[in-house]
Structure 1
Amino acid sequence: MNLALGNKSSQEWEDFLFLMRFYVKLCFCELGFLEGKLEASKRATNFVLAKTSNFLDTVLFTVLLELTKHEPYSYT
């Protein structure tokens, strides 16, 4: 997928928008997950939670970045 702003076909834009919608939905789900972790951390101090709090963001961003480097699937 070519990421130059002016060189995207409509299919590339659709693929990009699909990935962005997917990312937003996962971030929304992650908010609920993090809220649960905050409640758990109030009950017991755990340093592992602090280290992994941005894990999902980091992994998800890396996966989406890699997906945008490859050609989109053929829909024909």
Structure 2
Amino acid sequence: MERPGYDTHQPSAATTAVTCAASPRLTPTQIRVLRGVHSGLLNKQIAFDLGIAEATVKVHMTALMRKLNVRNRTQAAIVAQTLAI
């Protein structure tokens, strides 16, 4: 019996693939950088918060985008939401 107001559909194959494939491969620092991106912070702000250089944040962003198979920060933030990061 379905309860009103609850979404009963299964996650899409793409969402499941991203969740299964990307989640275990992210380093703790990459997760922190992704949280910053999801919060809407700039690289400079993320760097300050993490106590690392802005160039290091850029390196982590490049690796994140490759691992998550996304092309920009907005797509990375959407994936972060999907992964509940």
TM-score by length of 1: 0.31
The structure having more radius of gyration, on CA atoms, is 1
**Whose helix fraction is larger, Structure 1's or Structure 2's?**
1
TM-score by length of 2: 0.29
